[in-house]
Chains A and B, each alone.
Chain A
Amino acid sequence: MFQGWLQIALTIALFVALAPTFGGYMARVYLGHKTLLDPVLVPVERILYSLTGTETKEEMTGWKYARAILYSNVAMALLIFFLIMNQGWLPLNPTGLGAPTWDTALHTTISFITNTNQQHYSGETTLSYGSQMLGLGYHMFTSAATGLAVGIAFIRGLTGRPLGNFYVDLIRSITRILLPISIVGAVALILLGVPETLAGPVVVPTLENPALSQAIARGPVAHFEIIKQLGENGGGFFAINSAHPFENPNPATNLIQIVGMVVIPSAFIYTYGVFANSRRQAWLIYSMVLAIYLLFVTLTAIGEYQGNPAVNSLLGSVQPNLEGKEVRFGWAQSALFATTTTGTMCGAVNSLHDSFMPLGGFVLLSNLFLQIIWGGQGTGTAYLFAYLILAVFVTGLMVGRTPEFLGRKIEKREVVLASFLILLVHPIAILIPGAISLAFPETLSGISNPGFHGLSQVIYEYASAAANNGSGFEGLADSQPASTGLWWNLSTCFSLLCGRYIPIIALLLLADSLSRKQPVPMTVGTLRTDTFLFTGVTAGVVLILGALTFFPVLALGPIAEAFQIAKGG
């Protein structure tokens, strides 16, 4: 047991140690300072700017930035929808797959353009190598880069700078952050055993019974796998994602995958510290997120380590819950991966969340509700600051002062946008479609696990869509040809779009209005935001505003299930 906690602690220590260096590097990239890769990348970027018609000097307002995101995302989505619907005759289709149903293609397109990668299909049996490599792999770069662009534009606005140019940020995020790390990571993954081939599946007779044949699915996996993790995308090449031995063959690849999915959102908080010239505040906020994350990892790990009491009584000893888990990862790496993937909005899984103990289910759902326990690519950090603005407002009310943040007055418009973002969009996108599905259990919900857990399955699916996470309680009958597939494909599209584009627009408008404010000088009367006290209040605001809305579903889902199991079924 001690060994399990040690590997969890060391993995976390590794990505925390990377935060200052990598966060500092990202700050240099977005501030336009010199970096090591300049000699190679400056000419490449010049070509890209001229091919795309990007004017690097042009500054965008919040609206203009948002419009550029919407236009480009629509163009990218149309391309991928076309590729998926026509995969039957397009090249790179060694298994001869036809087009999926239109609703599956639509859901997949929207799911990948929004950086969610919720999958209502099985990779091996539904999508050709071409659809995955040319379509989904493409969205993994652009949707992650879009998130980073929004995050950095928000930080610029917050610190009183002009927001920048979306196309410059998009291109630089790819050329300077995502692509270089992906190339190095893909090489490492291939070396460690992840396939990278265009050849089709291999069929072999099995050793024990030659009359029985085994089909070994392969594909161009390694290059796809690394950006899937690094970009917090999470859409697996194979149905069973990072639990598949070809996506994640050993503990070394697992370490790369865990660090890969959390390194950007964790370092991004430090990037903010550089922009705001307040590393102290960055570290305080970082510690707050880290503390909640540590608590969550511990809870999940305890649940899985103690195992399922009903099965333990059959085994005659306490053994970990290995249902839906791989031997090479065990309880510790599975619990760590699950907590990290739901906290960071990656959504890849190396073990099946549906089979986690209720303690784990509680944590995973809470991560999706809060959205900031590292949070999505770029957007997660922006949410964190939206919470901070609300905390400034609340503390301002308590002490009777005009709330200020980084020397800028927080006024009605900012509070309205921040509270709209935090308090309204997420619950609406989750609870309303969730209630509709639960109202028609036979025709719509497609629940596979009876009782309290069934409620968790439905809520999890919408929470995962709205938080742009993409993991699932996968027992749910949410894909074609199940009769509930059409409903799930279309209704989650609503949550996916609401959870992505409304917050992006609101964040950019918020950043825009903050960047235009006259800075007010700091006096003794100013409420300091870089103190332990204020960080503590922020943590309270996060837990109260973020979690309380959803407490009833947590009580009816995982908490009730825990009592049911404790009482013995």
Chain B
Amino acid sequence: MSFAREASRAVRTTFVLWLLTAILYPLVMIAFGQLVFPYQANGSLIKNAQGTVVGSALIGQPFTSDRYFNSRPSTTSYSTADPQKDDAGILKTGVSGASNLAPSNSALLDRIQGKSDPDPSQAIAGDLPRLEQAGIKPTADLLYTSGSSLDPHITVEGARNQVTRVAAARNLQPIQLEPLIAQNTEGRFLGIFGEPGVNVLKLNLALDALQPA
């Protein structure tokens, strides 16, 4: 067969399969998602009583104060930025990322236990001293950064260890917070696959509902 015939068949196949797999298939799936499961298809967005979006049920947010259950450390601060000075354009697209620190990299230990330095801009506060100062018994999930930097969960133990602190800051009894943790724990699939995690944003929204901030 001549070169021209072989080439023309390659080009025709390229376009026909493109129409099928890159245009027809996605459009059908998008239409299906928008019509049948619009909540999931648009990002599982959580709305407040006024109907404004406050976040996504699947994406974590940064929490560091004592009034809220703290989330895991994040390399992108959960894709957040100050809208006034967002030079990196984070709010334009949203970002995700990880530390990619090897277990043998001393920077990992510096980040966890902190590092003093005569030059204050070189010093690292460290997550372990921060947790200890706050009176939270550290767990692995609260020290290690997540894979996506958007992890919506902390472990159940990590949440329990924060109960006393949050209760004290809000003048609540610790016993009032325990059920909130249980309600916002997302369990294993079929009771078998994956690990249970407490959805921090949902938990903190429930906390605010219990006692407006």
Residues of A with Cβ closer than 8 Å to B? 3, 6-7, 10-11, 48, 51-54, 64, 67-68, 71-72, 74-76, 79, 95-97, 122, 124-125, 133-135, 137-138, 141-142, 167, 170-171, 174, 179, 182-183, 186-187, 190-199, 201-204, 206-209, 211-218, 220, 222-224, 238-240, 243-246, 249-252, 254-255, 307-308, 310-311, 314-315, 319-330, 332-334, 349-352, 354-358, 448-453, 473-475, 561, 564-565, 569
Contact = CB atoms under 8 A, between A and B. Distances in A.
B26 interface: yes
A307 B10 CA distance: 51
A245 B201 CA distance: 14
A352 B104 contact: no
Contacts of A332: 195
B144 A323 contact: yes
B8 interface: yes
Interface string B141-176: 101111111111111000000000000000000000
B42 A565 contact: no
Contacts of A52: 9, 12-13, 16-17
A204 B46 CA distance: 11
B49 interface: no
Interface residues of B, number: 108
B95 A323 contact: no
Interface string B4-27: 001111111111111011110110
Contact of B43 (A6, A74, A197, A321): A197
B17 A141 contact: yes
Contact of A330 (B67, B138, B195, B204): B195
Interface in B50-75: 53-65, 67-68, 72
Interface of B: 1, 6-18, 20-23, 25-26, 28-30, 32-34, 36-37, 40-45, 53-65, 67-68, 72, 78-83, 89-106, 108-109, 112-113, 128, 138-141, 143-155, 186, 188-189, 192-195, 197, 201, 204-205, 208
Given A216-B43, A319-B140, A240 B6 contact: no
**Most A CB atoms within 10 A — which of B12, B94, B99?**
B94
B33 A243 contact: no
Contacts of A311: 108-109, 112, 140, 143-144
Contact of A211 (B43, B82, B105): B82
B21 A138 contact: yes
Given A95-B92, A137-B22, A314-B113, 14 more contacts: A3-B192, A7-B193, A134-B22, A190-B40, A197-B41, A199-B42, A203-B91, A208-B68, A212-B81, A240-B150, A315-B139, A315-B143, A326-B151, A449-B102
Contacts of A138: 17-18, 21-22
A433 to B, nearest CB: 21
A179 B25 contact: yes
Contact of A72 (B10, B44, B104): B10
Contact of A213 (B12, B80, B141): B80
A51 B112 contact: no
A324 B17 CA distance: 37
A308 B1 CA distance: 61
A124 B96 contact: yes
Contacts of B151: 245, 326-328
Given A190-B41, A212-B81, A323-B144, A196 B25 contact: no
A79 to B, nearest CB: 6
Nearest to A73: B10
B135 to A, nearest CB: 16
B202 to A, nearest CB: 10
Nearest to B17: A142
Contacts of A333: 193-195
Nearest to A453: B102
A565 B103 contact: yes
The 9 closest A-B pairs by CB, nearest first: A251-B194, A217-B94, A243-B147, A475-B100, A196-B33, A330-B195, A138-B22, A215-B94, A71-B10
Contact of A7 (B32, B63, B194): B194
A251 B42 contact: no
Contacts of A194: 40
Nearest to A227: B21
B194 A190 contact: no
Contacts of A452: 104
A75 B68 CA distance: 55
B98 A449 contact: no
B29 A357 contact: no
Contacts of A201: 91-94
Contacts of A179: 20-21, 25
A220 B155 CA distance: 30
A333 B192 CA distance: 11
Contacts of A68: 6, 9-10
B100 A327 contact: no
A224 B33 CA distance: 13
A192 B186 CA distance: 13
A355 B99 contact: yes
